[in-house]
């Protein structure tokens, strides 16, 4: 294409808004296709003993890849197979226990049509998503999901725009309906996203990041205030736990407590930690989610929380540990 000059006064914003309006109208039309066929497709996938195999060529293939990824991350095992590669060996990845979702707006994708006789012979259930129920794929489908739209947002009517958006939304509708039917939880979601920030928040527990053993700042009830301050400085957590030889919690002393002691105007050299400690201490159990411990710390305006089984001290978690673990 040769270079042309920009038309005087061309309005990019209006062109963009026109696309949004056309695609919104297309999605509004899609509501009528969430019908008995949609329910049948959901049930077929829900009871599928194998995996969902998504296929599509061109732009439909790109949408299909996203659809398979959404299924897989929300409790429906799925993967994408390129129809062209399927004809040259990749169809071996598909078994009779699987369900195939084949996507083509025209419903006449030659690459997919070439696979249908084999899929029928293997008795693989086939859900076809097309904009033309009367198409070859529409007629061959065990279940047909219509994704017909009034028009593409492309002014030439050629580039897949509204139709691919409708396909993507229909795929999301399937995935979310199945997610709800399975009772899929946040923790289930995190198990398929262990490397992401969400996975860390939903899977990481305080016993994964807490300080234990000699790393715990602690002194006995008989310790002087000076000894307690030295322990706070050494362990660099802004606090120390007061406990007995068996690590039974008796109290806690923090930087904030020290400021209050200064305000009392007492002789710091004669005080024992027992005279100024706060009895008890805010604590969580070892299996507590790190994000729940973080929420507790934020709500109580503290920077550390004790990890304990009853009064038995097991560890300490500081806000900095949350930051390093990527929970914050």
pLDDT tens-digit map of 222-270:
999 889 999 999 999 999 999 999 999 999 999 888 888 877 776 667 7
107 and 147: one domain?
A: yes
In a domain, 299, yes or no: yes
The count of other CB atoms within 10 Å of the CB of residue 307 is 25
The predicted pLDDT at position 187 comes to 72
Instruction: Give the structural domain span for 67.
Output: 12-184
166 and 217: one domain?
A: no
pLDDT at 202 over 80: no
In a domain, 1, yes or no: no
In a domain, 190, yes or no: no
Contact status, residue 178 vs residue 42, Cβ threshold 8 Å: yes
In a domain, 257, yes or no: yes
Contact status, residue 205 vs residue 182, Cβ threshold 8 Å: no
Tokens standing for 32? 């009528």
In a domain, 103, yes or no: yes
34 and 142: one domain?
A: yes
The predicted pLDDT at position 20 comes to 96
The predicted pLDDT at position 161 comes to 96
Segment 135-143 mean pLDDT: 97
Segment 283-304 mean pLDDT: 92
The predicted pLDDT at position 271 comes to 83
In a domain, 289, yes or no: yes
Which of 16, 19, 112, 20 shows the shortest CA–CA distance to 58?
A: 112
Can you list the positions of beta strands (E) in the chain?
52-56, 78-80, 99-103, 126-130, 143-146, 218-219, 239-243, 249-254, 278-279, 283-284, 304-309, 312-318
- Which are the contacts of 261, defined by CB distance < 8 A and separation ≥ 6? 225, 268, 271, 276
Residue bearing tokens 């996507």 = 103
> What is the rounded average pLDDT for all residues in the chain?
91
| β-pair partners for 312 | 248, 309
In a domain, 163, yes or no: yes
Cα–Cα distance, 152 to 162 (Å, whole number):
5
Which of 129, 51, 61 shows the shortest CA–CA distance to 95?
A: 51
Cα–Cα distance, 16 to 37 (Å, whole number):
34
**Do the bridges between strand 304-309 and strand 283-284 make them parallel or antiparallel, or are there none, so unpaired?**
parallel
| Domain CATH code at residue 263 | 3.10.580.10
| Domain CATH code at residue 82 | 3.40.50.10490
Cα–Cα distance, 136 to 173 (Å, whole number):
24
pLDDT at 189 over 90: no
pLDDT at 2 over 60: no
52 and 172: one domain?
A: yes
In a domain, 65, yes or no: yes
168 and 234: one domain?
A: no
239 and 281: one domain?
A: yes
176 and 221: one domain?
A: no
Domains in the chain, number: 2
| Cα 74 versus chain centre, distance | 9
The predicted pLDDT at position 194 comes to 59
pLDDT band for position 323 (cuts 50, 70, 90):
confident
The predicted pLDDT at position 93 comes to 95
The predicted pLDDT at position 196 comes to 60
Q: Please calculate the CA angle 110-114-159 and round it to the nearest 5 degrees.
A: 20
The predicted pLDDT at position 223 comes to 92
| Cα 266 versus chain centre, distance | 53
222 and 135: one domain?
A: no
């Amino acid at each position: 294409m040769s270079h042309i000059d920009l038309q005087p006064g061309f309005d990019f914003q209006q062109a963009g808004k026109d696309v949004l309006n056309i695609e919104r109208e297309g999605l509004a039309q899609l509501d009528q296709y969430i019908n008995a066929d949609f329910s049948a497709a959901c049930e077929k996938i829900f009871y599928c003993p194998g995996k969902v195999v998504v296929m599509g060529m061109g732009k439909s293939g790109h949408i299909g890849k996203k659809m398979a990824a959404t299924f897989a991350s929300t409790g429906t095992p799925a993967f994408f197979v390129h129809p062209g590669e399927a004809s040259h060996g990749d169809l071996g990845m598909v078994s009779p226990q699987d369900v195939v979702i084949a996507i083509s707006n025209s419903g006449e994708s030659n690459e997919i049509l070439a696979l249908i006789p084999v899929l029928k012979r293997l008795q693989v259930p086939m859900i076809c998503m097309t904009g033309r129920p009367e198409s070859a794929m529409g007629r061959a489908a065990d279940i047909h999901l219509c994704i017909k739209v009034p028009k593409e947002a492309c002014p030439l009517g050629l580039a897949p725009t509204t139709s691919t958006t409708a396909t993507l939304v229909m795929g999301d509708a399937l995935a979310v309906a199945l997610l709800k039917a399975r009772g899929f939880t946040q923790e289930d979601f995190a198990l398929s996203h262990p490397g992401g920030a969400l996975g860390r928040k939903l899977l990481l527990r305080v016993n994964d990041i807490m300080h234990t053993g000699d790393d715990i700042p602690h002194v006995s009830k008989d310790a002087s205030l000076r000894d307690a301050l030295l322990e706070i400085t050494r362990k660099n957590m802004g606090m120390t736990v007061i406990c007995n030889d068996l690590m039974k919690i008796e109290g806690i002393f923090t930087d904030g407590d020290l400021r209050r002691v200064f305000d009392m105007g007492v002789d710091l050299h004669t005080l024992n930690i027992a005279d100024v400690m706060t009895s008890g201490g805010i604590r969580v159990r070892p299996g507590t989610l790190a994000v729940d411990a973080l929420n507790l710390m934020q709500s109580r305006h503290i920077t550390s929380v004790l990890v304990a089984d009853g009064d038995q001290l097991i560890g300490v978690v500081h806000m900095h540990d949350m930051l390093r673990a990527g929970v914050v």
